[in-house]
Amino acid sequence: NGTGTAVTGAGTSHDGRTAEGESAQTLTTRQGHPLTNNQNTRTVGNRGPATLENYQFIEKISHFDRERIPERVVHARGAGAHGVFEAYGKVGDEPIAKYTRAKLFQEKGKQTPVFVRFSTVGHGGHSPETLRDPRGFAVKFYTEDGNWDLVGNNLKVFFIRDAMKFPDLIHSQKPDPVTNRQSGERIFDFICNTPEAMHMVSFLFSPWGIPANYRQMQGSGVNTYKWVNAQGDAVLVKYHWEPLQGIKNLTAPEAEAIQAKNFNHATQDLFEHIAKGEFPEWELRVQIMSDDEHPELDFDPLDDTKIWPEDQFPHLPVGKMTLNRNPENYFAEVEQSAFGTGVLVDGLDFSDDKMLQGRTFSYSDTQRYRVGTNYLQLPINAPKKHVATNQRDGQMAYHVDSAPDQNLHINYEPSSLNGLKEAPRSAPDHMPEYKGRLMRQTIDRQNNFKQAGERYRLHEGWERDDLINNMVGALADADRRVSDKMVELCTNCDPDWGKRLAEGLHKARGGKKAEGSGQSNEARSSEAVAEAEAT
Ligand code: HEM
């Protein structure tokens, strides 16, 4: 079926035959022509000119010209590894079947192969891995029921709660379209007008914004999903990966020292540990909540800018993942891998989280463009089980996804002529009921500052110092309309945070008064704070 050769490049033609005088190592064109001279183009005399009918050269150079596919629009820089997920067969102390019928979780010791891609978010494919950025943590489970992708980040919350804002968020974090440089002013200009981002800021600008490597960081699904049991009843769940290697983050000076010598340190760390047999492990834990709006909480359970408090919703272990095999080819396995939040198996479902629905459209849409229409036929993305569809053709169609005894004339359903048949239903669907007005509105329980303030106070002293330093560094040269508003938002989270940021900015600007107003930055900020409190 070609899956092995695509990755390992066995070096023989498809059926493995070699012509007389050739060995399996003989260099050929992709048409199978043996190459006797790979050093010189075909020319008139040895000084040129070159000729146009030179198939060997044209095939080689034109393939090279097409060696890159578009980068991921976000998460372009990444590293990947293969491994295995082993189920505990229960959730905490309870049988897991009470909450989900997903087969991969049911039996203790059941193993499911996985592929994981870690990433940074904002910059290009060869950017330093020391940058302040969330880290992606995307896991593909090749289950017996087809693939499940858990597309998460290292941090447990996100900047925004509505997918409508995602392109703006990313534009503000990507390089300036004029200067092609990332700018703190642009990042905070968006954030200071997006108060729900403050919880994310409380993590991202602290050392939690630069994990020391990929092995020693947590992962989280961030958005809320559902689990569905054999009766079709659902609960809300959040997923978390806990690294059994412990957690390690870097301050900005520590990251700069690494970056001065090595901008691939996280990829190197992951690859070398796996190559040495020191396999990194993570425990998968879930938080569970009944499937309703929970009016007793001061936040909306579907709001991805919030953490579900661990004392009320404990992290319950459900299994362990071990990464134990490096990719053999970075491009085939890591670059072309494609994860999406829509890729769920029976027993797992979407919640009503509107951000999650926005994400779910975006992933497969971008992958049809980035990798191509038939990206699911590539070995890294294809399920490791029977696939039979009536989808045909399209760019780079590699094979027909048919059943062995299917009548290949029948690429439609239903049919009485030995075409594909729908699967028998094994358990009732989860069928939530909906009634509501169609609208464009933000959620009611926004509570943008409380958890951010709690996080500020929970940070250790050195983490708070680093948070202030990093924010001052990013904001010192920013327009005062942006930095003043950031002081105001930080003050809303915790007055000490606002005060320390204002003091830091004042110092970094050499104690200068705010232009035009005759007021100091702090004076203007405290006015703004008073105004905010009054409203
Ligand atoms: C990658 C969209 C929010 C985690 C991507 C990609 C897109 C995208 C278009 C590139 C995919 C590709 O080229 O294969 C969005 C949208 C979001 C959103 C529209 C919000 C509405 C999030 C959140 C998380 C996240 C909240 C974390 C929970 C990731 C990860 C990747 C990724 C880990 C890289 C996957 C890989 O390694 O291939 N996202 N994203 N994204 N996103 Fe999101």
Q: Does residue 72 have its Cβ closer than 6 Å to ligand 1?
A: yes
pLDDT, tens digit, 9 for 90 and up, residues 343-376:
999 999 999 999 999 999 999 999 999 999 999 9
- Residue of 363, 366, 369, 381 with the most ligand 1 atoms within 8 Å of its CB, for mutation: 363
Q: Does residue 80 have its Cβ closer than 6 Å to ligand 1?
A: no
The DSSP H or E segment spanning 151 is strand 146-153
pLDDT, tens digit, 9 for 90 and up, residues 12-64:
445 667 888 888 889 888 888 888 999 999 999 999 888 888 888 888 888 88
Three-state SS annotation for 375-416:
HHHCCCCCCCCCCCCCCCCCCCCCCCCCCCCCCCCCCCCCCC
| CA pair distance 137, 341, nearest whole angstrom | 12
| CA pair distance 135, 250, nearest whole angstrom | 13
| pLDDT for position 520 | 38
**Residues forming beta bridges with residue 429, ordered by sequence position:** none
Instruction: Give the ipTM.
Output: 0.97
Q: Nearest residue CA, atom 25 of ligand 1? A: 152
> How far, in Å, from the CA of 182 to the mean position of ligand 1?
20
Q: Which pair of structure tokens corresponds to residue 94?
A: 């309870």
| pLDDT for position 15 | 63
Number of Cα atoms under 13 Å in the Cβ half of residue 229: 12
The strand pair at 135-143 and 111-120 is best described as antiparallel
- Per the annotation, binding residues for heme are 363
| pLDDT for position 53 | 84
Q: Nearest residue CA, atom 17 of ligand 1? A: 359
Q: Does residue 158 have its Cβ closer than 6 Å to ligand 1?
A: yes
pLDDT < 50: residue spans in the chain: 1-13, 513-535
Active site residues: 75, 153
Q: Which pair of structure tokens corresponds to residue 9?
A: 């490049």
User: 350-382: b or e for each residue (b if 16 or more CB lie within 10 Å)?
Assistant: bbebbbbbbbbebbbebbbebbbebbbbbbbbb
| pLDDT for position 231 | 97
| CA pair distance 89, 135, nearest whole angstrom | 29
DSSP assignments along 76-101, one per residue: -SEEEEEEEEEE-SEETTEEGGGT--
> Coil, helix or strand for 118?
strand
**Nearest atom, ligand 1, residue 167 CA:** 19
The DSSP secondary-structure symbol of 304 reads T
**pLDDT averaged over the chain?**
91
| pLDDT for position 318 | 98
Q: What is the pTM of this model?
A: 0.91
Q: Does residue 360 have its Cβ closer than 6 Å to ligand 1?
A: no
Q: Does residue 371 have its Cβ closer than 6 Å to ligand 1?
A: no
Rounded to the nearest 10 degrees, the angle between the axes of helix 461-475 and helix 184-192 is 110
